[in-house]
Amino acid sequence: MKNTDIQIIASLKELLGKAKLNIAIIPHEHPDGDAIGSAIGLAEVLVVRVTKLKLFHQLIIPIS
């Protein structure tokens, strides 16, 4: 890991430890499996540290 990555992680840990936060996770439009999986993974990590967490997604199932 680069030093800047370690600094970013440390800053995020500090921010999450200090405040009661409300966080919304919104993947990009027309998300693929990677985007949805990343959003769910991030939610799993954050859910133990935040006051309120919502995961939004746009799921459109085409009808043929």
State pLDDT tens for residues 12-57: 778 777 767 777 888 888 888 888 888 888 888 777 766 677 777 6
Between the two ends of the chain, the Cα-to-Cα distance in Å is 46
Which position has the token pair 């991030």?
Answer: 42
∠ CA 51-15-11, nearest 5°, is 150
DSSP 8-state code for residue 25: E
Which position has the token pair 């133990």?
Answer: 48
User: What backbone phi and psi angles, to 5 degrees, belong to 32?
Assistant: -95, 180
Average pLDDT over residues 5-18: 81
Cβ–Cβ < 8 Å for 54, 46? no
**What global pTM score does this model have?**
0.58
